[in-house]
Amino acid sequence: MKISMILNGKKTEAEIDADMLLIDFVRSQGCCSVKRGCETSNCGLCTVFLEGKPVLSCSVLAARANGCKVDTLEGLQEEAEEFGSFIAGQGAEQCGFCNPGMIMNAIALFRENPDPSEEEIKEYLAGNLCRCSGYEGQLRGILNFLAWKKQQGGAS
């Protein structure tokens, strides 16, 4: 079957098998930030934005994205770079494998709730698996980023 979508701002068309997952499709299009982790929709590594909302691409058929807008970290570099340095500044990037999914979900959080409490941040990011940092660095990075945004006088 043939599908068409706007992937990271660019019209993309391809012939796919009906059972192809969105993760496999975006990776076949060069979006290597989208990672395969648990294969059970529990780790957050495969997060993409489908019509602006975070979804686990390992649980969505590529055909469901036909006619939609899909963004990966490659398409959100400006937002990601601004926030990512705060995560790195806390040493939370250790192996870096979880960073793309964590950053995608943090961007979604900032878009939905520009001034979250610490508890809201923890709840929102609960589906992101990081095996080496213990999450405290990511939490400090998010809190520092939000404080910096307030100092800048801008909303996330």
- The pLDDT assigned to 155 comes to 52
Same domain (yes/no): 115, 148: yes
Task: Over range 19-28, report the average pLDDT.
Answer: 97
For residue 151, pLDDT over 60 is answered with yes
The SS3 of residue 45 is coil
- The pLDDT assigned to 143 comes to 93
The SS3 of residue 36 is coil
Same domain (yes/no): 96, 53: no
Here the tokens at position 144 are 């520092």
- The pLDDT assigned to 84 comes to 83
- The pLDDT assigned to 42 comes to 85
- Among 73, 103, 130, identify where a domain stops: 73
Q: What is the CATH number of the domain that holds 82?
A: 1.10.150.120
Greatest CA separation for the chain: 50
For residue 156, pLDDT over 50 is answered with no
Same domain (yes/no): 46, 87: no
- The domain of 137 spans 75-152
Confidence of residue 154 (pLDDT cuts 50, 70, 90): low
- The pLDDT assigned to 88 comes to 80
Rounded to 10 deg, the angle between the 99-112 and 136-152 helix axes is 40
For 89-139, what is each residue's pLDDT tens digit? 777 667 777 788 889 999 999 999 999 999 999 888 888 887 776 678 888
Same domain (yes/no): 81, 141: yes
Same domain (yes/no): 61, 110: no
Average per-residue pLDDT for the chain: 90
